[in-house]
Amino acid sequence: MKKRILVDMDDVLADASERILEILNQKNNLSLSKDFFEDKDFYDYVKSNNLKSYRDELNAPGFFGNLNVIPDSQEVLAELSEKHEVFIVSAAMEFPNSLKEKYDWMQTHFPFISWKNIMLCGDKSIVKGDILIDDHEKNLIHFDGETILFDAIHNKKINNYNRISNWLDIKKHILG
């Protein structure tokens, strides 16, 4: 039976954390890596160390359009879309410049996903489906179907969801 699979973009398909760390490191003369946050809360670390913020860069043209693709996501999502309904659901309204960039990024890296299956929204609590793959608890908490927390530097302390760290494991989980 076909499932409706909803997939977030940032830090699930597009490596936003990689770019955020680059900006954070540049602004604060640091050399932090993703591994540094294995046992730390990213947001708490930034706040408690009074680091110069990266957030203004999220509104800058080009931020969302130039993110790297999360490894194996293209191949696995292509395979999932052959067997299931796949929708990309991304909260884009907080950063209005991201709307066109996210759409263009999807067309470049995931051309097999129709524009009809891309939802750029503000609040994901309205979406319905069988599975939601997301990196933020705020998006998973109200979802009625199966939730998968995609591992990211900012969610290491969240433990009450099925956490999956890579796309090959997502493939095993959904396709067997």
Catalytic residues: 8, 10
- Contact present, 56 and 95 (Cβ < 8 Å): no
- In sequence order, the 6+-apart residues with CB closer than 8 A to the CB of 85 are 2, 3, 4, 5, 117, 129
Helices 73-83, 167-175: axis angle to 10 degrees equals: 20
What stretch of H or E contains 146?
strand 146-150
